[in-house]
């Protein structure tokens, strides 16, 4: 078993208004299998609590937020304010089912990116790959990028 | 304001209606389950119409009032506001807001007794209004209405709230009013291993009977593998005799499949028929029906009537010719009861049951998969075996013996190393078990149309 300070850490949870637990548990399971220390905040988690978890685990590589009920934009509305306050400084990844509701998928992605979301994933299978890419970029920063 | 206690007692005693407990006793004696739908809408007039329509056209033996989410969470003001603005925006009937007078009106409107179904970790106000309305059947428990529904209500708090309800049932029982208390073994409704469901219900049943409850319905969710489901239903009275006081009446109840439902109404109807048959073969006293609109959300009255009738049909003598492999049921029964014993006996041995339950969930010695609550660890990983039965791929910290773990491993026969990459997909497909049956049947139909001669030889048997 690797010790805590060398283990890669991620913070995961489901957006504030969303109580879908199953995918959240499956993703936590997959990431733990892949060797991550998973801080799982579970369903109905306000953005503020993701920020608190990040200050408790400052070495976390990313914050992963699931949203299945179509309210991702409303649930993440505090992101610019938290970022401006110097919190939630790590990559924020959002995934799930973003197209439910009045906004079409494309618009919704655009709106989320404008809020400051760094990456949007359609498929939970892409999570380990994206985390590896982000990790590699952090360990060996590309000059000039 | 509620009427005085003596007035409520008088109202219930004088009621000419059959009480739920009597309906259940008759069903158990007859050996055929009675059928109960779920139903609840926000507006009072709409609720009246719904109950009358279901009664007149579906003839269920027990009816339901399903309560809205605001009321479940004691947000009575939000319930009242939404009721005023947009009653259709409520996902159930806000009984506390409508009040006991309207409750009595509903009670007197139909012949069938009414059960209140909800999902509240603290149901005390709701129970008081239900009782004042004359409803003597009430679903839920301190574990099963907390962990699947609430993120952060401590178990000690929900157990204490429900203990108050159960003590009141005890007081009522002493004056001759028997409240049927149904326990929600369905839990998160997603791949719940049968021994987890039964263990949670038995612990709640034990707590309830110590508080004075005399009539308990233990509900078990149809998993989909018939031998396992029959074993679980038939184990309910056996385990009740083993772990509960003698004077408590216990009725096994089946909830028709609660997971992801097929979209095709015909396939959904077949699954509903299968649920009714499972209930009868397992000796359930009651079965809660699904509808062929399940995949779309809350059903309309029409679909609910059809669901009631299809389920009732499966419980008539039409399907009495069906036999299952009793040796397989017996083997399932042995291991299931052994798992339950390994889960509940350490908890029952403690002097303070409620504290022991809280501690066991904290330690993970009791656990449920896919919990919405932070007060269960959800380290249990369920998986279907090749027959469709639900097993433990990972038992987390459950205190299982080596033979129990070995048996689960043997049933699953998986190569863990090769599984790890596909684990999420595999569990997802286990969750979508009946949707995949639907996909297979559609594919088979297409194949028949494309190549009629070959498919006649191949047949549907190779689908698995």
Nearest-CA residue of chain B relative to A20?
Answer: B372
**According to the model, what pLDDT value does residue A60 have?**
96
The mean pLDDT value for B124-139 works out to 98
Query: Cβ B420–A33 below 8 Å, yes or no?
Result: yes
Q: Are A81 and A51 in contact (CB under 8 A)?
A: no
pTM here is 0.91
Query: Cβ A21–B370 below 8 Å, yes or no?
Result: yes
| Complete domains list, chain A, with CATH | 4-137 (3.40.50.280)
The sign one gets for the Cα dihedral A66, A71, A72, A75 is negative
Helix or strand run (H / E) with residue B446: helix B433-450
Query: Cβ B381–A29 below 8 Å, yes or no?
Result: yes
The mean pLDDT value for B117-141 works out to 98
Q: How far is A117 from A74, CA to CA, in rounded Å?
A: 13
User: Per DSSP, what are the bridge partners of residue B35?
Assistant: B287
Interchain CB contact of A29 with B (< 8 Å):
yes
**According to the model, what pLDDT value does residue A58 have?**
95
The one-character DSSP state at B264 is S
Query: Cβ A25–B369 below 8 Å, yes or no?
Result: yes
DSSP code per residue over B138-183: EE--TTTTTTTT-SS--HHHHHHHHHHHHHHHHHHHHTT-PPEEEE
Q: Which band of pLDDT confidence, cut at 50, 70 and 90, is reported for residue A5? A: low
Q: What mean pLDDT, rounded, does chain B reach?
A: 94
Taking one residue from A and the other from B, the number of pairs with CB-CB distance under 8 angstroms is 34
Q: Which band of pLDDT confidence, cut at 50, 70 and 90, is reported for residue B292? A: very high
The answer on pLDDT for B412 being more than 90 is yes
User: Per DSSP, what are the bridge partners of residue B64?
Assistant: B115
Q: How far is B265 from B255, CA to CA, in rounded Å?
A: 19
CB < 8 Å to B188, chain A:
21-22
Give the minimum alpha-carbon distance from A23 to chain B in angstroms, rounded to a whole number. 9
The three-point CA angle B216-B218-B221 to 5° equals: 160
The answer on pLDDT for A4 being more than 60 is no
The answer on pLDDT for A112 being more than 60 is yes
Q: What ipTM describes this predicted complex?
A: 0.78
Residues on chain B bordering chain A, Cβ-to-Cβ distance under 8 angstroms: 151, 188, 190, 369-374, 378, 381, 420, 423-424, 427-428, 431
Nearest-CA residue of chain B relative to A33?
Answer: B420
CB < 8 Å to A44, chain B:
151
Give the minimum alpha-carbon distance from A40 to chain B in angstroms, rounded to a whole number. 9
Chain B interface, best mutation among A14, A18, A19, A21, by max B CB count within 10 A: A21
Query: Cβ B151–A42 below 8 Å, yes or no?
Result: yes
Q: What mean pLDDT, rounded, does chain A reach?
A: 88
Q: Which band of pLDDT confidence, cut at 50, 70 and 90, is reported for residue B420? A: low
**According to the model, what pLDDT value does residue B55 have?**
98
Taking alpha carbons only, the member of B236, B256, B384, B252 closest to residue B311 is B256
Query: Cβ A25–B378 below 8 Å, yes or no?
Result: yes
The mean pLDDT value for A5-21 works out to 90
**According to the model, what pLDDT value does residue B442 have?**
86
CB < 8 Å to B371, chain A:
21, 25
Query: Cβ A25–B423 below 8 Å, yes or no?
Result: no
The answer on pLDDT for B154 being more than 50 is yes
Give the minimum alpha-carbon distance from A12 to chain B in angstroms, rounded to a whole number. 14
Interchain CB contact of A30 with B (< 8 Å):
yes
Higher pLDDT, A34 or B24: B24
For chain B, how far is it from start to end, CA to CA, in angstroms? 59
Interchain CB contact of A129 with B (< 8 Å):
no
Interchain CB contact of A134 with B (< 8 Å):
no
| Complete domains list, chain B, with CATH | 13-319 (3.20.20.240)
Given phi > 0 = left and psi -120 to 50 = alpha, else beta, which region is B176? left
The answer on pLDDT for A118 being more than 60 is yes
The mean pLDDT value for A98-120 works out to 80
Q: Say what percent of chain B tops pLDDT 70.
A: 96
Rounded to the nearest 10 degrees, what angle do helices B265-281 and B301-314 cross at? 40
The answer on pLDDT for A6 being more than 80 is no
Interchain CB contact of A46 with B (< 8 Å):
no
Chain B interface, best mutation among A17, A20, A25, A45, by max B CB count within 10 A: A25
The mean pLDDT value for B226-238 works out to 98
The answer on pLDDT for A100 being more than 70 is no
The answer on pLDDT for B171 being more than 90 is yes
The answer on pLDDT for B202 being more than 90 is yes
Q: For B295-345, how does the pLDDT look when each residue is reduced to its tens digit (9 = 90+)?
A: 988 899 999 999 999 999 999 999 999 999 999 999 999 999 999 999 999
> Length of chain B, please?
464
The mean pLDDT value for B122-143 works out to 98
The mean pLDDT value for B143-171 works out to 97
Chain B interface, best mutation among A13, A26, A123, A124, by max B CB count within 10 A: A26
**According to the model, what pLDDT value does residue A141 have?**
63
- Which residues of A have a catalytic role annotated? 18, 20
The mean pLDDT value for A129-145 works out to 78
The answer on pLDDT for B451 being more than 90 is no
The answer on pLDDT for B453 being more than 70 is no
Structure tokens at A76: 């993440």
**According to the model, what pLDDT value does residue B449 have?**
76
**According to the model, what pLDDT value does residue A1 have?**
45
User: Per DSSP, what are the bridge partners of residue B65?
Assistant: B116
> Chain A window 50-79: which residues touch B at a Cβ cutoff of 8 Å?
none
| A55 burial via Cβ count (<10 Å: 0-12, 13-18, 19+) | exposed
Q: For B77-111, how does the pLDDT look when each residue is reduced to its tens digit (9 = 90+)?
A: 999 999 999 999 899 999 999 999 999 999 999 99
CB < 8 Å to A26, chain B:
424, 427-428
Taking alpha carbons only, the member of B368, B375, B268 closest to residue B311 is B268
Question: Looking at B72, B206, B309, B391, which residue is catalytic?
Answer: B72
Give the minimum alpha-carbon distance from A29 to chain B in angstroms, rounded to a whole number. 8
For chain A, how far is it from start to end, CA to CA, in angstroms? 35
The answer on pLDDT for B233 being more than 70 is yes
**Any catalytic annotation for residue B139?**
yes
């Amino acid at each position: 078993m690797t010790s805590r300070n060398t283990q890669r850490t991620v913070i995961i949870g489901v957006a504030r208004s969303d109580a879908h637990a199953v995918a959240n548990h499956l993703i936590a399971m997959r990431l733990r299998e892949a060797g991550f220390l998973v801080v799982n905040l579970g369903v109905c988690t306000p953005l503020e609590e993701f920020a608190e978890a990040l200050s408790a685990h400052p070495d976390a590589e990313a914050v992963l937020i699931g949203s299945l009920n179509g309210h991702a934009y409303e649930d993440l509305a505090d992101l610019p304010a938290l970022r401006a306050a110097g919190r939630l400084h790590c990559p924020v990844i959002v995934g799930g089912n973003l197209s439910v509701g009045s906004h079409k998928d494309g618009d919704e992605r655009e709106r989320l990116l404008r809020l400051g979301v760094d990456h949007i994933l359609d498929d939970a299978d892409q999570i380990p790959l994206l985390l590896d890419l982000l990790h590699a970029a952090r360990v060996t920063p590309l000059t000039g990028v | 304001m509620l009427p005085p206690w003596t007035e409520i007692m008088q109202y219930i005693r004088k009621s000419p209606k059959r009480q739920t407990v009597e309906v259940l006793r008759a069903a158990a004696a007859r050996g055929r389950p009675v059928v109960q739908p779920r139903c609840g809408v926000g507006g009072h007039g709409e609720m009246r119409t719904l109950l009358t329509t279901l009664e007149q056209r579906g003839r269920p033996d027990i009816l339901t009032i399903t309560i809205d989410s605001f009321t479940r969470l004691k947000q009575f003001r939000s319930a009242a506001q939404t009721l005023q603005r947009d009653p259709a925006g409520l996902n159930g009937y806000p009984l506390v807001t409508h009040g006991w007078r309207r409750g009595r009106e509903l009670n007197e409107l139909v012949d069938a007794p009414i059960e209140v179904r909800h999902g509240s970790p603290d149901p005390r106000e709701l129970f008081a209004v239900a009782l004042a309305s004359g409803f003597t059947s009430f679903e839920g428990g301190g574990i099963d209405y907390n962990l699947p529904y609430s993120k952060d209500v401590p178990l000690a708090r929900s157990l204490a709230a429900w203990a108050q309800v159960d003590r009141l049932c005890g007081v009522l029982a002493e004056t001759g009013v028997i409240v049927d208390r149904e326990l929600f073994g369905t839990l998160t409704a997603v791949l719940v291993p049968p021994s987890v469901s039964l263990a949670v219900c038995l612990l709640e049943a034990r707590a309830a009977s110590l508080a004075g409850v005399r009539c308990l319905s233990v509900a078990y969710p149809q998993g989909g593998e018939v031998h396992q489901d029959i074993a679980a239903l038939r184990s309910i009275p056996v385990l009740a005799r083993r772990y509960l006081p003698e004077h408590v009446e216990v009725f096994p109840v089946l909830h028709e499949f609660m997971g992801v439902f097929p979209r095709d109404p015909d396939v959904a109807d077949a699954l509903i028929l299968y649920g009714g048959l499972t209930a009868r073969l397992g000796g359930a006293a009651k079965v809660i029906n699904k509808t062929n609109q399940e995949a779309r959300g809350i059903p309309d009255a029409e679909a609910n009537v059809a669901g009631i009738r299809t389920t009732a049909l499966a419980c008539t003598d039409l399907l009495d010719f069906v036999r299952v492999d009793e040796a397989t049921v017996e083997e399932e029964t042995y291991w299931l009861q052994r798992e339950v014993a390994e889960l509940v006996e350490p908890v029952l041995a403690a002097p303070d049951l409620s504290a022991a339950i809280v501690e066991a969930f904290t330690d993970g010695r009791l656990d449920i998969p896919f919990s919405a609550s932070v007060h269960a660890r959800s380290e249990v990983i369920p998986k279907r075996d090749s027959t469709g039965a639900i097993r433990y791929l990972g038992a987390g910290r459950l205190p299982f013996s080596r033979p129990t773990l070995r048996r689960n491993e043997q049933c699953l026969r998986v190569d863990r190393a090769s599984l790890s990459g596909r684990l999420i997909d595999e569990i997802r497909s286990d969750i979508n078990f009946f949707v995949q049956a639907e996909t297979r049947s559609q594919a088979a139909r297409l194949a028949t149309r494309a190549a009629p001669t070959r498919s006649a030889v191949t047949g549907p048997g190779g689908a698995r």
